[in-house]
């Protein structure tokens, strides 16, 4: 479901397992993170296994697991889906530990694991399987050009240290970034269009008619603002998940709140 989100002040940058194993009681680690599963080791027998866990609310879930593979062994892990829709896939030569995040509904889910039927190594198994409920971790904004001639913070720059540690991007919705938006969606992330509040955008477009903002009816009403947001690329681009807007000093516009 696509959404419109409003920040009041500013946006910050930033076979079964014995059978179908049930995780221990959730463990609150801090005010943002709850640990749902922490298993030190899982044998590769049987070849297909499930682990049930409960997401305490609709929101992001982090999954991490380690494994060491021999030769042609392949291990796949999915959430509530088939092997072809694995969220983690391990092959010989891959990094031993992999991580991912997925946006899940509240309630019970199943982590599904496929080991090879005849593994090359008798010691094959998962280690340190961790599942945690985590908050939205946001990078704002893409694309960004650094000050002082330090270059562009593009996906190549962000890939090593930023993208693996976030689940949400706020930034441009231009179709020129659609390949990147599609890649991010396939990784399980969300991408929101950073959008101006209508009154601000209206003033900007009056000054420069070439700006790519949708036409906005005046006077401003809740209906015209709703149409303005929902006709933007945040809702018409199939790889975007909605709109983020900072209202800052625009709190005097009750029409914006009514539009929600």
Q: What is the pLDDT of residue 80?
A: 97
How does pLDDT run across 166-197, given as a tens digit for each residue?
999 998 877 888 999 999 999 999 999 887 77
Does pLDDT of 12 surpass 50?
A: no
CATH fold for the domain made of 21-134: Jelly Rolls (2.60.120)
| Relative orientation angle of helices 198-207 and 222-230, to the nearest 10 degrees | 70
Q: Bigger pLDDT: 157 or 20?
A: 157
Does pLDDT of 34 surpass 70?
A: yes
Contacts (Cβ under 8 Å, ≥6 apart) of 139? 13, 14, 158, 162, 163, 166, 168, 169, 170, 171
Say how far apart CA 78 and CA 65 lie, in whole Å.
12
Contacts (Cβ under 8 Å, ≥6 apart) of 64? 97, 98, 99, 128, 129, 130
The band of 259, judged by pLDDT with boundaries at 50, 70 and 90, is confident
The band of 249, judged by pLDDT with boundaries at 50, 70 and 90, is very low
Contact by Cβ (8 Å): 90, 75:
yes
Phi, psi of 49 (to 5 degrees): -140, 155
Task: Give the position of tokens 């014995």.
Answer: 18
Mean pLDDT for the stretch of residues 228-249: 82
Does pLDDT of 202 surpass 70?
A: no
- Report residue 207 as tokens: 């000054």
How does pLDDT run across 54-103, given as a tens digit for each residue?
999 999 999 999 988 877 788 999 999 999 999 999 988 777 899 999 99
Contact by Cβ (8 Å): 106, 57:
yes
Q: What is the pLDDT of residue 173?
A: 79
Domain boundaries, the chain: 21-134, 137-259
- What stretch of H or E contains 208? none
């Amino acid at each position: 479901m696509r959404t419109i989100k409003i920040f009041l002040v500013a946006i910050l940058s930033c076979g079964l397992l014995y059978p179908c194993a049930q995780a221990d009681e959730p463990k609150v680690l801090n005010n943002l993170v709850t640990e749902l599963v922490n298993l030190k080791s899982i044998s590769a027998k049987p070849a297909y296994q499930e682990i049930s866990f409960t997401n305490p609310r609709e929101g992001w879930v982090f999954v991490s697991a380690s494994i060491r593979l021999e030769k042609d062994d392949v291990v796949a892990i999915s959430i509530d889906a088939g092997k072809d829709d694995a969220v983690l896939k391990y092959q010989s030569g891959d990094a031993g530990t992999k991580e991912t995040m997925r946006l899940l509904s509240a309630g019970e889910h199943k982590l599904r694991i496929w080991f090879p039927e005849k593994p090359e190594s008798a010691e094959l198994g998962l280690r340190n399987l961790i599942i945690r409920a985590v908050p939205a971790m946001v990078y704002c904004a893409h694309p960004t050009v650094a000050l002082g001639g330090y270059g562009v913070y593009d996906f190549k720059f962000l890939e090593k240290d930023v993208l693996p540690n976030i689940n949400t991007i706020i930034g441009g919705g231009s179709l020129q970034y659609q390949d990147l938006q599609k890649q991010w969606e396939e990784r399980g992330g969300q991408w929101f269009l950073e959008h101006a509040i209508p009154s601000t955008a209206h003033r900007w477009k009056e000054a420069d008619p070439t700006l790519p903002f949708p036409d906005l009816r005046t006077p401003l009403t809740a209906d015209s603002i709703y149409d303005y947001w929902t006709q933007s690329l945040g809702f018409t681009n199939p790889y975007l998940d909605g709109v983020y807007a900072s209202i800052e000093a625009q709190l005097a516009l009750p029409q914006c709140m009514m539009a929600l």
